[in-house]
């Protein structure tokens, strides 16, 4: 009986050690994964000083600009005739004053047209790449998947479409100044 108790205790200790090791490895690996994600979101470039000719690394703010571009594309690109084009209201705070005027005009035109049949589109970002970048302007080419519904939300088709989004830095904020569906 004593031998059997010793075996049970040894098995319990081994299982406890295995569980602790698994928990420890999971805890150690989690920060590493998020660090890699954060580093991938921030691009680095070099800036050459015109006076000294030296090259210094500069961490670009394209991570913040990229976030604004992604939110703009997914919100602006998703709408339906039943929602009253609230997608435009949703993105106004992400745009420059000039683009806000254009979007408000687009909203007025859309609301003036009678919507006899249902139409809706849901836009999902697939990928994004920087086309050009300066300290005050960044242009992204964003690939999207758009699920369109005609006449009924059940009648859908999927298509892929790219959009170019231009952002400008005003103060500490990145704002969308222009966009064009390709």
pLDDT given at position 2: 84
Q: What is the mean pLDDT of the chain?
A: 77
3-state helix, strand, coil in the chain (%, to 5): 45, 35, 20
Spatial CA neighbour of 174 closest among 29, 23, 62:
62
Dist CA 16 CA 33 (whole Å): 26
CB atoms within 10 A of CB 178: 15
First-to-last C-alpha distance (Å) of the chain: 78
175 sits in which H/E element:
strand 173-181
The pLDDT of 97-104, averaged and rounded, is: 90
Q: Give the largest Cα separation in the chain, rounded.
A: 88
Domain limits, the chain: 2-41, 61-181
pLDDT given at position 32: 36
What are the beta bridge partners of residue 30? none
pLDDT given at position 16: 80
- Whole-structure pTM over 0.85, yes or no? no
pLDDT(132) > 50: yes
What are the beta bridge partners of residue 147? 122, 158
pLDDT given at position 167: 93
Dist CA 174 CA 64 (whole Å): 7
What would the pLDDT profile of 22-69 be if each residue is shown by its tens digit? 666 666 543 333 333 333 333 334 444 444 444 433 334 568 888 999
19 sits in which H/E element:
helix 2-41
The pLDDT of 155-165, averaged and rounded, is: 90
Superfamily of domain 61-181: VirB8 protein (3.10.450.230)
* Helix, strand or coil, per DSSP, at residue 62: helix
């Amino acid at each position: 009986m004593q031998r059997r108790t010793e075996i049970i205790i040894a098995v319990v200790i081994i299982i406890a050690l295995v569980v602790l090791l698994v928990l420890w490895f999971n805890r150690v690996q989690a920060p590493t994964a998020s660090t890699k994600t954060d580093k991938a979101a921030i691009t680095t470039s070099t800036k050459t000083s015109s006076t000294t000719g030296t090259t210094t690394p500069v961490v670009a703010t394209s991570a913040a600009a990229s976030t604004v571009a992604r939110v703009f594309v997914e919100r602006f690109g998703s709408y339906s005739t039943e929602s009253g084009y609230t997608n435009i209201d949703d993105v106004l705070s992400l745009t420059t004053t000039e683009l806000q005027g254009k979007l408000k005009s687009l909203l007025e035109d859309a609301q003036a047209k009678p919507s006899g049949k249902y139409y809706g589109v849901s836009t999902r970002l697939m990928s994004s790449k920087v086309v050009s970048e300066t300290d005050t302007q960044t242009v992204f080419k964003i690939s999207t998947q758009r699920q369109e519904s005609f006449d009924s939300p059940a009648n859908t088709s999927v298509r892929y479409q790219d959009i170019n989004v231009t952002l400008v830095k005003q103060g500490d904020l990145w704002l969308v100044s222009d966009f064009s569906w390709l």
